[in-house]
Every structure is written in C-alpha cells, then in structure tokens.
Amino acid sequence: MTERKPRGYWEDFKNVKEELKKVISKLGHFPVQRELSEVGNSSIIAALTKYHGGLNAGRERMGYDSTTRSHGYWKDWKNLVNELQPIYETLGNYPTAYKLRKMGHVSLEAAIHQYHGGSQSVKERFLAAIGEKEITVESILDGYVGGPHAR
C-alpha cells in the first residue's frame, strides 16, 4: 500500500514534478493519462487537473512538447508523415503499432488505423513517400537467388 501524502502535497508543483520524474524514468517518455492510471499514479492526474491546469500544462511546464493537436490534424497525410519521419529515423525502420504505443504515440497509432487504412497501407505509402523500399526476407533472397543476375 502506498503511503498517504501530507495535506497540500499535490498543490506544490515541485512534488508533482518529482513524482512525474519517477514515472518518466520507468517509461522512458512523458506519460499519457492512460499510462499514469495503469501504473497506479492517478493521484498525479488528479493533482495536475485540480491544481496545475491539466496534463498538457504539466507536460509543457516540465519542458516537454504539448501533444494537443488541432481538430482534423491527424486526417492530413502530410502531418502523419511529419510525425512518423523522426520515429522512423530514430528506429531505423517503420514502427509497429505496439512500438508506437510503447513510445507514447497513441494518437498517431490510432490515426493510422482510423483515417489512413491501417498499418500495412500506411507503411507502404510512407516508405514510398520518403523514397525507401521495405526490406523483407523475400527481397533479400531475391537478391541472392532470383535477382536480375540470376542464371
């Protein structure tokens, strides 16, 4: 059982920040609301909402970019590509839906399915848009046995 915090603890942003740092350390990124709930830190959500302007305000106050996007943002293919590009460059490959969620890109992963035809469709379009070809076992084998130099 977690120990009860003293009266007024959550009103001081310094305390909220310290608690968030612990979660960020575990997750490797600033948490979304669902992640805070899942790891048993709903008190942080309540404190941010009640005393500090909400989760996005806390995120910005700690120096992280806001995740709030304008209405219709995710429907625009260019925005999707702009969000995927740095992830692709960091990973060196197209991210799976699981990897996107784990990295905290829940909205991006949802938009891929909701507005753009799903992971495989977006992967193919995205790789074509940035001039890359998907490397598959088949394409590697073709290079050895069935490529243009096969006899």
- Following DSSP, what letter does each residue of 85-139 receive, concatenated? HHHHHHHSSPPPHHHHHHTT-HHHHHHHHHHSS-HHHHHHHHHHHTT-----HHH
Average pLDDT of the chain, as a whole number: 85
More confident residue, 1 or 138: 138
Classify residue 66: in a domain, yes or no.
Answer: no
- Tokens representing residue 113 in the block: 């399915």
Which range of residues forms the domain containing residue 21?
9-61
Of 30-34, 58-62, 88-92, 131-135, the poorest mean pLDDT is in 131-135
119 and 80 in a single domain? The answer is yes
56 and 80 in a single domain? The answer is no
How many domains in the chain?
A: 2
Is residue 113 scored above 90 in pLDDT?
A: yes
Measured CA to CA in angstroms, residue 95 lies from 43, 50, 58, 112, 126 at distances of 32, 36, 28, 12, 11
pLDDT in tens, 84-106: 998 998 888 999 999 988 887 88
82 and 113 in a single domain? The answer is yes
The predicted pLDDT at position 21 comes to 94
Classify residue 151: in a domain, yes or no.
Answer: no
Is residue 71 scored above 90 in pLDDT?
A: no
92 and 125 in a single domain? The answer is yes
More confident residue, 25 or 141: 25
The predicted pLDDT at position 8 comes to 95
The percent of residues in the chain predicted with pLDDT above 70, rounded, is 85
Classify residue 144: in a domain, yes or no.
Answer: no
Q: pTM of the entire structure? A: 0.51
